[in-house]
Structure 1
C-alpha cells in the first residue's frame, strides 16, 4: 500500500537494468544525492544508457528528478546502480537535473555551480525520500556525492592544478530544508 508521502513515480527502466546485480533491500541504508551536471533530462538519459562496462551496464542513479518535479525510476531499488564509488551495494542514487559545472566539469575556471534547484524538485525529492524511508527498513542515512567521493584530479585547463572530481549536489542544495523534512541523517564523520 502506498504511503501518504509517495510521489508519482514514472517507471523508465534503462535497457540494461536486468544485467545489474540484484541485492536484498535490507542492505540499503544510504541515499546519495547527485546532480546530473548535464543540460536536461534527455542528456542525462542518454548518458545513463551508455554501456561502459563489460557487464553491459553503465553509470546511472536509481531515480531522476526533473526541474518540474517529475520523478523517474531508471533502476529498481533491488538492483545495484553504478553511481558512487564504493557505496553502490548499500545505496540508492537520486539524480537532480541541474547543469552543475556543465560543460567544463574539471576546468579550474568553471567550478561554480550556480543553477539553483527548483522548489518542485525539492518538494518531489522530500516526498521520494519519505517514501523510500517508509519502504526500506534499513534506510537511515543521506549524503551528497561530494561527501563520499573526495578525490582531487588534475584540472583540464591546467594539470598543475587540482579540482574536486565530484561537487554534487553542490553549494545550492538546501540541506537544512531537506533534513528538516525527512527521517534521514547525514552519516557520522
Structure 2
C-alpha cells in the first residue's frame, strides 16, 4: 500500500478526529550526552533565536517521516551519533547536530521512543522548535505498512491528548509553513 502526499494529509485529518486507542511504546534512546545537548542549544539559538538553558520545546505539531532506510537497526544507527556523518554535507552547513526523531516506527508497527517528547530533535527545516518527529522505517521502495499506519494513528492520537497539537504534516509539507507564525 502506497500513501500519496494527499494520503498523508487525509491520514492526519483522520487521526485528529478519531477516538482514542491504546498502544505500546518501547524505549530505544539515542545518545543525548552533553555534546548533543550543547549542539541542540546552539541550534535553537542560531535557527530560532531561542536562548535556553535546556533544549526543550512545547510541541504544537507532529511531523511524519520515513527513514529512506530499509531496516530498524540501520535507521536507529543513522540517528544515534551526536554529529552528522560526512555523507550529510548538504545540511551540515546549518549545524553539526545529527538528525534525529522522537519516535521510530518499525515495519511491524512497533513504536520506539528515542527522545523525550519535549526535547528538541533535528528532523524538519524551520519547525524543530515546536515539532515532534516520527520516523517510519521505509522508503519509496518500501512504503508504509498497514501496521505502521495504525501505529502512527495511535501515536498521534496519544500526542494530541497530551499536548496542544495543532498540525500533523508529512515532512514534505514543511514548506507550507514558510512565513507562518511557527
**TM, length-normalised to structure 2:** 0.65
Aligned to 1:35: 66
Gaps of 5+ in 2: 1-18, 41-53, 85-94
Where structure 1 has 5 or more consecutive residues not aligned to the other structure, the ranges are: 101-112, 151-186
Distance 1:17 1:117 in 2: 32
Q: Per the alignment, do residues 133 and 50 of structure 1 end up closer, same or farther by CA in structure 2, a change over 3 Å counting?
A: same
The answer to whether the 8 A contact 1:69-1:123 is kept is yes
Deviation at 1:71, TM superposition (A): 0.2
Q: Distance in 2 between matches of 1:80 and 1:22?
A: 6
C-alpha distance after superposition, 1:116-144 (max 9, x if no partner): 311111111100000000011x2110111
Aligned to 2:13: none
Aligned to 1:14: 30
What number of residue pairs does the alignment pair up?
133
Matched, 1:91 2:117: no
Residue equivalent to 2:103: 63
Counterpart position of 1:75:
115
Cα distance in 1, alignment partners of residues 21 and 33 from structure 2:
26
Tell me which residue corresponds to 1:117.
144
Partners of 2:81 and 2:55 lie apart in 1 by 20
Which residue matches 1:144?
Answer: 170
**Alpha-carbon RMSD:** 2.6
Per residue, is there more helix in 1 or in 2? 2
Between the aligned partners of 2:109 and 2:174, the Cα distance in structure 1 is: 25
Runs of 4+ in 1 over 3 A off after TM superposition: none
Work out the CA distance in 1 between the residues paired with 2:113 and 2:100.
10
Superposition deviation, residue 6 in structure 1 = 3.8
CA contact (8 A) 1:50 1:57 kept: no
